[in-house]
Amino acid sequence: SNNNNSNHSNKIKVADKTADAYRRRRDRNNEAARASRQNRKERHEALRLACAHLSTAVAPIVRLRRLQAEAEVRSLCSAAGQSYEALLTSAAQQIGLPANFLNSVLAGVRRLQESTISPPVDEQRQRPAGESSDENEKCR
């Protein structure tokens, strides 16, 4: 009977040790998973910030390239005797843009051009050399 009690007591101790080992392993795994999630969040945030900085840094270059492309197309249209808006309208029809959408965009562009100090690119090109009213226009 005494031997039986000691056996039973040993089994309980082993079971307790096993449960403790499982608990410790579970705690370690939970902590590792939490650290991994935190690390992933921090990497994601760092990447998001880097992308935001890059986007901010690149934005003026993108805008300049877009303006250069528009100036080139306007120049080609002018040389061919076709209006820039007619070219846009034709392109919009070919890709299936609704005409009212294009018209509202063009109206917005016109309002924007009228509200800015500098004239549209076509008018800048037609000025005689050295007659720029604004020194900054030469940099655009």
pLDDT tens-digit map of 104-136: 888 887 887 787 655 545 544 454 455 444 444
- pLDDT of 109 reads 79
Contact 53, 103 (CB under 8 A): no
What does the radius of gyration of the chain's CA atoms come to, in whole angstroms?
35
- pLDDT of 140 reads 37
Q: pTM here?
A: 0.40
Average pLDDT of the residues in 8-27: 91
- pLDDT of 1 reads 61
**Amino acid in the structure at residue 88:** L
User: What is the CB neighbour count within 10 angstroms for residue 97?
Assistant: 14
- What DSSP element (H or E) covers 106? helix 99-115
> In sequence order, which residues have a C-beta less than 8 Å from that of residue 77 and are 6 or more positions away?
83, 84, 86, 87
Contact 118, 124 (CB under 8 A): yes
Q: Give residue-wise pLDDT tens across range 41-73.
A: 999 999 999 999 999 999 999 989 988 998 999
The Cα angle at residue 96 between residues 91 and 97, in degrees rounded to 5: 80
| Pair of tokens at residue 51 | 């992308």
Report how far residue 106's alpha carbon sits from residue 87's, in angstroms, rounded to the nearest whole number.
12
Please state the domain extents for the chain.
8-81, 83-113
3-state secondary structure 17-57: HHHHHHHHHHHHHHHHHHHHHHHHHHHHHHHHHHHHHHHHH
Report residue 28's pLDDT band, with 50, 70 and 90 as the boundaries: very high
- pLDDT of 76 reads 93
More confident residue, 24 or 115: 24
Report how far residue 67's alpha carbon sits from residue 137's, in angstroms, rounded to the nearest whole number.
13
- pLDDT of 53 reads 93
